[in-house]
Chain A
């Protein structure tokens, strides 16, 4: 086959045709999987959300009824409020801890590299293992956290058993579990901060905070955008921790949107309604991602 190719008068076009055929064969499996497990499901989700499909029995078109039902669903709004609270606490804390630790470790010594690994360790564990560890840490009587708080004379709350504190506990756990990955992204970005600019600002008499604010922060805005996007998307879809630790409780205080969708779709098998819910969540994520991209874009243009 290949010998014949080289003998042809127009080897270039023959190679090109050969390459086209090979390329599509090489791409076949991922493209088919993309069609069956992404494209088709997204189209199906839109269709399902317009039905009352519930696995067992017949189903019919209900038009936009599911969406109208969502607006009047008090539990949905509880889930929205909980997810919003989680996002508002988790995203800024996640950025601040990742950036703070990256600034601390932004030096190329062996000691800094060792600490970089130690800071990163929680990222490696699964959310379930992390949740189990924190379930023990947060035990009101025998947990390490309340023991440490006790040394400072603070009477720690019941954490996961207290509807005031359960979500805060889950936020703390999530920041602990995830900041290492974003710290590494920030460390990579900090390498790219132009040293001449920092020196010039210092010579001009700028204090450390002004250098950070006017030189460092703008130079790493791409990393900040990436991290913000990752954190927002993760925050809107928080599930594992709430499922493992609290089953959405106490008193629905940790019932998140994805948990609610899971419960409707796979707990009560209301798959039509669950699809409508997931579509609403998808739109929310889309709006926030676009808004974030625009805000960061404007920042970069300035």
Chain B
């Protein structure tokens, strides 16, 4: 692939000085480029289209005409089966609550904390900032077992007494997934970077007018951070909707499963029912795909900056 661009670049180089008809080499380079990007797109997009096609085929057609991209007799039976044969609707609702709840808390608390670290001067600011930054480097695996125990033994919650005995604490409740990630260090860091780019003078002017610090945050700076909040909201939604390992551990009541954990249960090593599995895959991917399509410009640009920072 490197060679392809290299050839194209070298062929294009003489064209810088005087415009002249494209050399045969440039034409070949262009054709090779188009073939390469189309082939790669086919490998990234085709599996999704094939999944969609298979999910719309009746059971008898799935294996017999597995290579056919357009179903001969399209049907929604696989989707209907998800909701009638199992609690898939419940899974979707659980995931929506967890993902949207995570967005709300991360935007609010991440915004507040990020603003404090960017715009308020106080002793210990550097320490707190490096603490959050450092905590992003700690791999999730090390806190997995103890976090489970902290949530399970949380005093006075979920049937627990003052010493955390007797009940299941937050385990098997939305709190088990929402609370530990309610104000992640990434949200704080991200919003801090965003607020830092805004001028200090706005706050100073409001302060002279006698506005409280919260008011300055809420009415002056937060509206200016709308773009940042939108990107953080989309990223947090995707992370919450797509998370797997932690919900798998913390929520095992059949009624509390998230859509990802529920979907994983449809994949069996033997005797997999491909129709419902792939219909579930489409439903599990749809919300994040829609959000991505709406916001893709901002998301991709934000990502592009992270490499140069």
Contact = CB atoms under 8 A, between A and B. Distances in A.
B26 interface: no
Contacts of A135: 267, 272, 277
Interface residues of A, number: 106
Given A40-B150, A244-B264, A245-B267, A127 B244 contact: yes
Interface in B244-272: 244-245, 248-249, 260-261, 263-264, 266-267, 269, 272
A26 B116 contact: yes
Nearest to A24: B122
A100 B185 CA distance: 32
B244 A44 contact: no
A189 B305 CA distance: 8
Given A116-B300, A124-B292, A136 B278 contact: yes
Contacts of B41: 115, 118-119
Given A124-B238, A212-B2, A278-B144, A37 B150 contact: yes
Contacts of A133: 47-48, 51, 278, 281
Interface stretch (B76-84, B155-163, B223-231, B283-291): B283-291
A236 interface: yes
- If over half of B's interface residues share one DSSP class (helix, strand or loop), that class is named, otherwise mixed; here it is helix
B220 interface: no
- If over half of A's interface residues share one DSSP class (helix, strand or loop), that class is named, otherwise mixed; here it is helix
Nearest to B183: A30
A38 B138 CA distance: 9
Contacts of B304: 184-185, 187-188, 191
Given A22-B214, A26-B112, A233-B139, A271 B244 contact: no
A34 B132 contact: yes
A279 B115 contact: no
Contacts of B264: 128, 131, 243-244
Nearest to B245: A239
A290 B198 CA distance: 34
A19 B267 contact: no
Interface stretch (A68-76, A86-94, A257-265): A257-265
B5 A104 contact: yes
A100 B2 contact: yes
Interface in A34-61: 34, 36-38, 40-42, 44-45, 48
A27 B113 contact: yes
Contact of A100 (B1, B188, B217, B305): B1
Contact of A37 (B9, B45, B131, B147): B147
B135 A271 contact: no
A132 B267 contact: yes
B263 A129 contact: yes
B202 interface: no
Given A124-B238, A185-B303, A261-B141, A208 B10 contact: yes
Given A222-B307, A239-B245, A23 B46 contact: no
Nearest to B288: A124
Contacts of A169: none
Given A126-B241, A133-B48, A19 B139 contact: no
A105 interface: yes
B25 interface: no
A95 interface: no
B260 to A, nearest CB: 4
Interface string A1-39: 111011000000001101110111011011101101110
A42 B142 contact: yes
Contacts of A100: 1-2
25 contacts: A29-B109, A29-B182, A37-B147, A44-B149, A45-B142, A45-B146, A118-B44, A121-B44, A124-B285, A125-B288, A126-B260, A127-B244, A132-B277, A133-B47, A135-B267, A176-B47, A180-B44, A188-B303, A188-B307, A212-B6, A222-B307, A266-B148, A271-B145, A274-B145, A281-B141
Given A226-B306, A289-B137, 6 more contacts: A27-B112, A30-B188, A125-B242, A144-B46, A188-B304, A223-B308
Interface of B: 1-7, 9-10, 13, 33, 36-37, 40-41, 43-48, 50-51, 54, 63, 66-67, 109-110, 112-113, 115-117, 120-123, 125, 128, 131-132, 135, 137-150, 179-180, 182-183, 185, 188, 207-208, 210-214, 217, 238, 241-242, 244-245, 248-249, 260-261, 263-264, 266-267, 269, 272, 274, 277-278, 280-281, 284-285, 288-289, 292, 296, 300, 303-308
8 nearest interchain CB pairs? Answer: A188-B304, A208-B6, A126-B242, A41-B146, A22-B213, A185-B307, A2-B210, A100-B1
